[in-house]
Amino acid sequence: MEDQLISPADSRGSPAKEQQAAGVGILLQIMMLVLSFILGHVLRRHKFFYIPEVSASLLIGLVVGGLANISNTETSIRGWFNFHEEFFFLFLLPPIIFQSGFILSPKPFFSNFGAIVTFSILGTFIASVLTGLLVYLGGITFLMYKLPLIECMMFGALISSTDPVTVLAIFQELGTDVNLYALVFGESVLNDAVAISLYRTMSLLNSHMSTGQNIFTLVVGFLETFVGSLSSGVGVGFIPALLFKYAGLDIDNLQNLESCLFVLFPYFSYMLAEGLGLSGIVSILFTGIVMKHYTFSNLSEKSQQFVSEFFHLISSLAETFIFIYMGLDIVMEKHSWSHVGFIFFSIIFIVISRAVNVFSCGYLINLARPAHRKIPMKHQKAPWYSGLRGAMAFALALQSVHDLPEGHSQTIFTATTAIVVLTVLLIGGSTGTMLEALQVIGDSNEGHIGDGFNRSDGYVSPSQDEEESSSNRFKMRLKEFHRSAPSFSSLDKNYLTPFFTTQSGDEEEHETLMPSPRREVYLSRN
């Protein structure tokens, strides 16, 4: 039987054998995807959070890779799974990132917009720079493998990208404060965009070190990439809103065309940004946010159902495939395991940087907020602990293989892969216990989903119902002033929504406060 197994390397001379080898590889990938979805469904149905769904995908990859080594079919399987990082950035990551923006509920997001932006932009910058500096200091003090400063900063940028899909799934399953969910979800969505922009800026600086660019040029380059990508994504997102509003495509015989056009615009946004030298991932993220808020309501009911399920489907497939591939990769590929100290101290530095990121930003946010809107300490501990590393960090590390010298890039790639696997398996498996210990899930206190959310107020303390004092009356007047002041909500309600959609600004949008996380498997239907 082993002689009948076609290896890609042995079948290059025969097109028929190449096709057979490709078919066997695709079959293996489909089998692992099916097994991963079934196992994830069983785990969620029995509420067994010690092995999250992404951990199940990783374990399947690890097992298949281990069996391949034992059965001497490692070369064949490596050939079937040997694809470049372009495959990640062109086919796997775009639907995942678009889905993140597409399922983002505007109400809790914009109610906590200032806090989310602080955590995702300032916090990610702090975590990235601090991680890079600690890794560099660890190298010059001989604690770990030494890398140049700019390469340490690149590593800090890519490893600062978080993927708290596990904690979001637990939030969705057991319930939590809707503002906490909005903070964790919103921070993770924008965090990817900032991490990519930081990495690309550092990579560009690394390739032009001889030009003597200063810090000001670096900051301008980052802002140019991020703001340009954001503007490109928002602009493209508005185009289909007007198209579907005025083109009259919502009649029965044109619904297929309507759905096809909707599916194509996200990729148009991605490719446009890449063609302009910007970040396609950042662009498609904001295209998703804009298209859900303005374009989605202009579709027919059947098209709305189709595009929602379509993007959920391909994002789930893509993310599952990435974690399976990571499991295979850590077993079969050649890694630089000689620098175990680099991995060990990197994990310590990441934990420290994440803590500085979350708690310093939380302190700044609470300084600017009134007493009843301050973020409780237990709500700050949850995103600190749940800052897992996932698909984005892995993809950027894969890209670093081509951006850095061979020895350095292999060390970074090995460390990133190990950190992703360890955080997903260990931290991901203990997240449910941690959240229960913090008492942020599963109870019925005021301020939980559907109870304590207020569009203007965000966090609401139980003491708000006490008898009004003169101080409280002053705060109420101040609150009314803020409500009457110009804001994005009023701009959206009075101008943007009537212009870009078929709805009036007074129509109340019925939306889920806690959108399904990327990996949800439609358990609500069972």
Summarize pLDDT for 24-43 with one digit per residue, the tens: 777 888 888 899 889 888 88
Share of the chain above pLDDT 90, in %: 17
The tens digit of pLDDT for each residue in 395-419 reads 888 888 888 887 788 889 889 888 8
- Side chain identity at residue 382, one-letter code: A
Contact yes or no for 499/439 (Cβ under 8 A): no
Identify the DSSP state of 522: -
Residue 441, classed as helix, strand or coil, is: strand
* pLDDT of 109 over the 60 cut: yes
62-76, 102-116, 228-242, 489-503: least confident range: 62-76
* pLDDT of 368 over the 90 cut: no
* pLDDT of 465 over the 70 cut: no
The pair of structure tokens assigned to 384 is: 């600190």
159-168, 180-189, 204-213: least confident range: 204-213
* pLDDT value of residue 58: 84
Alpha-carbon distance values, 81 to 119, 284, 362, 449 (Å): 36, 26, 42, 42
Identify the DSSP state of 73: -
173-187, 224-238, 315-329, 481-495: least confident range: 481-495
Residue 143, classed as helix, strand or coil, is: coil
The tens digit of pLDDT for each residue in 139-160 reads 999 888 889 998 999 999 999 9
* pLDDT value of residue 350: 93
Tell me what the mean pLDDT of segment 207-222 comes to: 67
* pLDDT value of residue 234: 93
Tracing tokens 């007047």 back to the chain, one arrives at 477
Identify which has the larger pLDDT, 476 or 275.
Answer: 275
Burial class (CB in 10 A: 0-12, 13-18, 19+), 260: exposed
Give me the helix-helix angle, 178-207 and 215-246, nearest 10°.
120
Give me the helix-helix angle, 391-403 and 406-422, nearest 10°.
170
Q: Which residue, 355, 323, 246, 285, is CA-closest to 94?
A: 285
Instruction: Name the pLDDT band for 447 (thresholds 50, 70, 90).
Output: very low
Instruction: Name the pLDDT band for 309 (thresholds 50, 70, 90).
Output: very high
C-alpha–C-alpha distance, residues 181 and 200, integer Å: 29
C-alpha–C-alpha distance, residues 316 and 99, integer Å: 9
The continuous run of DSSP H or E covering 318 comes out as helix 301-332
Contact yes or no for 176/383 (Cβ under 8 A): no
C-alpha–C-alpha distance, residues 109 and 451, integer Å: 16
* pLDDT value of residue 464: 40
* pLDDT value of residue 262: 92
Tell me what the mean pLDDT of segment 515-525 comes to: 41
Tell me what the mean pLDDT of segment 64-91 comes to: 69
* pLDDT value of residue 406: 77
Tell me what the mean pLDDT of segment 241-264 comes to: 81
Q: Which residue, 386, 376, 394, is CA-closest to 168?
A: 386
Tell me what the mean pLDDT of segment 125-150 comes to: 92
* pLDDT of 257 over the 90 cut: no
* pLDDT of 491 over the 50 cut: yes
The β-bridge partners of 176 are 441
Structural domain spans, the chain: 85-318+341-377
Out of 301-305, 357-361, 464-468, the most confident range is: 357-361
| DSSP assignment string, 146-197 | ---HHHHHHHHHHHT----HHHHHHHHHH-B-HHHHHHHHHHHHHHHHHHHH
